[in-house]
Amino acid sequence: MSTPTAPTTTAPLAQKNCHCDLLTWKDPVKTGKVFGTIILTLLVLKTVNLFNIFFHVAYIGLLVSAILEYVGKFVVGEGFVSKYKPATKTYAKKINDEVLPLVAEFNEKFEAEIQKILYAHDIEATLKAAGISYILYKITSLFSLYTLITIVVVLAFTVPAVYVRNKKEIDAAIAQYSKLAKEKTSEYTKLAQDKAAPQLEALAKKTGPVGAIIKNYLPTRTAGSTVGNNRDASFEGSASASSTGASKFPDVPSSNLSSGTQEFVDETKSTIPESF
């Protein structure tokens, strides 16, 4: 009796990793063909004005088509182009049903991310975008667009192969430098906060009522600030509950004790003879 074998999923995995295999030169012949074709296309785009050639062929072909259609209708009553045209297929409906919904979904997500970056919903993401923009500004000021595309293509076909062959060393170096960068960032952030705090406090005091309002929105670091807002809220709730729910002693009734004592002293003085 043969035991059933589990279904294999090698085909989807192979299809999923085909691009990685292409960039890591797992099949040198296939990768070489793709890489050579892309480089050759870039060279052609660099040396030949394809847009000029396209529009040149386009106006000649359209002019010939119009003339043949006119001559056919004039001679035989039916245009030669419309009569002998090949079978045509429409792709608009397929694009509308399959491609455009994905494009619309991507546009919504892309717009949401751009707004988060532009309006600083996530300050860290905005700072990262500013850093990337500055780097691209410097790069584009040194290299042309064609040079950048060529560099990207060359890096795409070299960096993955180098990474796969030295994965362990590269991962260790990335982890080490990432940890160092986070430590330095937190250190500089704390230093900036410590230096700015006295100045903000002085500014709040100088501006009077406006400074008092602004001071309420400034972050304050206390001994329990690292515990979290939940504990603060719970502490406040318990404190208010203890102050309102605790038993209250009855107030001592007010009396005229001092006035009564004074009257007793006066009466005593009046009864004692003056000889004493």
Rounded to whole angstroms, the Cα distance separating 258 from 263 reads 9
Domain boundary among 37, 54, 85: 85
Does any domain span residue 273? no
In the 8-state DSSP scheme, what is residue 95? I
Q: In this structure, what are the phi and psi dihedrals at residue 9, rounded to the nearest 5 degrees? A: -125, 35
Mean pLDDT of the residues in the chain? 77
27 and 80 together in one domain: yes
Rounded to whole angstroms, the Cα distance separating 173 from 163 reads 12
From residue 52, give the alpha-carbon distance in Å to each of 45, 55, 56, 58, 275: 11, 5, 6, 10, 139
Helix (H) or strand (E) holding 209: helix 209-217
Query: Which of residues 219 and 99 earns the better pLDDT score?
Result: 99
Which residues lie below 8 Å from residue 83, measured CB to CB, with a gap of 6+?
72
Contact 133, 125 (CB under 8 A): no
Does any domain span residue 119? yes
Does any domain span residue 106? yes
Rounded to whole angstroms, the Cα distance separating 31 from 25 reads 6
70 and 101 together in one domain: no
76 and 92 together in one domain: no
62 and 50 together in one domain: yes
Rounded to whole angstroms, the Cα distance separating 185 from 191 reads 10
Does any domain span residue 97? yes
Residues 93-124 have pLDDT tens digits of 889 999 999 999 999 999 999 999 999 898 98
Question: Would you state the pLDDT for residue 190?
Answer: 85
Q: For residue 92, which amino acid is it? A: A
Does any domain span residue 130? yes
CB atoms within 10 A of CB 23: 19
Question: Would you state the pLDDT for residue 206?
Answer: 75
Structure tokens at 173: 């170096």
Query: Among 33-47, 136-150, 187-201, 226-240, which is the least confidently predicted range?
Result: 226-240
26 and 69 together in one domain: yes
37 and 81 together in one domain: yes
Question: Would you state the pLDDT for residue 154?
Answer: 92
Is the pLDDT at 242 greater than 60? The verdict is: no
Is the pLDDT at 36 greater than 80? The verdict is: yes
From residue 263, give the alpha-carbon distance in Å to each of 24, 253, 259, 270, 274: 110, 21, 6, 11, 19
Does any domain span residue 114? yes
Identify the top-confidence range among 38-47, 198-207, 232-241: 38-47
- Domain extent, residue 57, equals 21-85
Question: Would you state the pLDDT for residue 23?
Answer: 87
79 and 106 together in one domain: no
Rounded to whole angstroms, the Cα distance separating 190 from 184 reads 10
Instruction: Single out the residue of 152, 167, 169, 165 nearest to residue 26, CA to CA.
Output: 165
93 and 79 together in one domain: no
Is the pLDDT at 175 greater than 80? The verdict is: yes
Does any domain span residue 179? no
Question: Would you state the pLDDT for residue 145?
Answer: 87
Rounded to whole angstroms, the Cα distance separating 104 from 98 reads 11
Residues 46-104 have pLDDT tens digits of 898 888 999 999 999 999 999 999 999 988 888 888 888 888 788 898 899 999 999 99
Question: Would you state the pLDDT for residue 58?
Answer: 96
192 confidence band (pLDDT: 50, 70, 90): confident
Indicate the number of domains in the chain: 2
Does any domain span residue 112? yes
Query: Which of residues 214 and 247 earns the better pLDDT score?
Result: 214
> 144 in the Ramachandran plot: left (φ > 0), alpha (ψ -120 to 50) or beta?
beta
Query: Among 23-27, 49-53, 233-237, which is the least confidently predicted range?
Result: 233-237
